[in-house]
Amino acid sequence: MATAFHNLSDYDAQSVPTAEPMKFGIVVSEWNSHITGALLQGAINTLKKHGAKDENILVKTVPGSFELTFGAAQMMENCELDGIIILGCVIKGDTPHFDYVCMGVTQGITHLNATCDIPVIYGLITTNTMEQAEDRCGGKLGNKGDECAITAIKMIDFIWSLKK
């Protein structure tokens, strides 16, 4: 559903399992840090709201959005986590760089999800303008970080339900 028709921070709290026993990794891009910092704060606040403990939320930064896939893969390999959230922001410019970065991250995260045992939640904002990015990191359209945190909790619960 298009974000213009749905606030990213709206969800049915009753439908969210407890995050208390879950361990989360968050990889956040330093590029466009005023946007990614707000996404990160939204994700952490939402995880905690649903019971996640501070010691079960590992946050690491990477220089840019293209490095998010590598960061997520390294977290999988080196940390005991139940799920990973990637957070980044790419704003369209005058060159095709936007397309390459967005496509590379999307394909990389899709590959990790198809081949690995824990979910990697896609929190890359891809917008045409800075205003659109600001609207999606706590502005009038909510916070994509909130949505990613809820998705992580639900996907971890989904996997655990299959292993019962």
Lookup: tokens for 60: 């690491």
Residue 5 has pLDDT above 80, yes or no: no
| Structural domain contains residue 3 | no
CATH of the domain at 48: 3.40.50.960
**Predicted confidence band of residue 14 (pLDDT cuts 50, 70, 90):** confident
Lookup: tokens for 70: 């590598």
| Structural domain contains residue 9 | no
| Structural domain contains residue 135 | yes
What are the backbone dihedrals phi and psi of residue 86, each rounded to the nearest 5 degrees, phi first? -105, 140
Residue, of 10 and 132, whose pLDDT is higher: 132
Averaged confidence pLDDT in the chain: 92
| Structural domain contains residue 124 | yes
Which of 6, 34, 97, 111 is the catalytic position? 97
Partners of 24 in the β-ladder: 57, 83
| Structural domain contains residue 133 | yes
- For the chain, how many structural domains are there in total? 1
pLDDT digits (tens, 9 = 90+) for 18-73: 999 999 999 999 999 999 999 999 999 999 999 999 999 999 999 999 999 999 99
| Structural domain contains residue 92 | yes
| Structural domain contains residue 4 | no
Q: Is residue 50 annotated as a catalytic residue, yes or no?
A: no
| Structural domain contains residue 80 | yes
Write the single-letter amino acid at 120: V
Residue numbers of the domain that contains 70: 20-163
Residue, of 164 and 91, whose pLDDT is higher: 91
